[in-house]
Amino acid sequence: DYTALVCPQRQLPDLGSLKRLDPHDMPGEAVQYLFDSRYCQADKFQPFVNSEFGDTQGGARIVAIRDWIAEHFSYEPGTSDARTTALDSFVERRGICRDYAHVLVTLARASTIPARFVACYAPGVEPPDFHAIAEVFLNDPETPGGGTWQLVDATKMADPAETVKIGVGRDAADVSFLTSFGPNNFRRSSVKVTRVG
């Protein structure tokens, strides 16, 4: 058994008011999250984001993308697997948190906004389990250097203020919840996340 007490403390600016940074103004650490990855083929979505979200920029575009996914997708366990890409999920318009996060990451990158995949825990996730969300890099005038990573959950199950990050990467290939080699028997897993106080 493993138990941990974690108290996330992060400032949550108004996401919709944050601006996009031009690539030449981004730190090198953020630039790598503009490019395609195994599950997130952003180059295929540039025409879509321009036509669907063309009148929005920066954080306002991320809010529009998050809300679009929440409205057009249905959360259906068992409808995707470890091979499912953002393109597959976009076509099917269904999936689980991993798929929602991949689509949000992909559409953000297609909008020239760095985005990465986040493995996390959060109260409010049903059923209680590991969770996957996105994180986008936007301008923040309160931050030295100008930019910060902002958590975004297209399933709308996780409150960014209460989310505990486990790991980040380009997509699920970088932060998989389980990696195994050869035959194995998975016996059980139980995740419980509760608010304290």
Mean pLDDT by 10 residues, the chain (197 residues): 81 92 93 97 97 96 98 96 96 97 99 98 83 95 83 95 94 86 78 74
pLDDT of residue 192: 75
pLDDT of residue 11: 80
Residue ranges of E strands in 44-197: 74-75, 94-95, 115-121, 131-139, 147-152, 164-169
Residues near 11 by beta carbon (within 8 Å), at least 6 away in sequence: 142
- Backbone phi, then psi, for 94, in 5-degree steps? -160, 165
Regarding pTM above 0.85, the answer is yes
Domain boundaries defined on the chain: 15-169
pLDDT of residue 88: 98
Classify domain 15-169 by CATH number.
3.10.620.30
pLDDT of residue 153: 97
CA distances from 123 to 32, 35, 66, 181, 189 (A): 30, 31, 19, 31, 17
Residues near 154 by beta carbon (within 8 Å), at least 6 away in sequence: 65, 66, 69, 70, 73, 100, 101, 103, 104, 133, 134
pLDDT of residue 37: 97
Angle at 35 between CA 34 and CA 38, to 5 degrees: 130
* Helix ranges (DSSP H) in the chain: 28-31, 46-53, 58-72, 86-92, 97-110
Whether the Cβ atoms of residue 50 and residue 57 lie closer than 8 Å to each other = no
Distance CA 78, CA 157 (A): 18
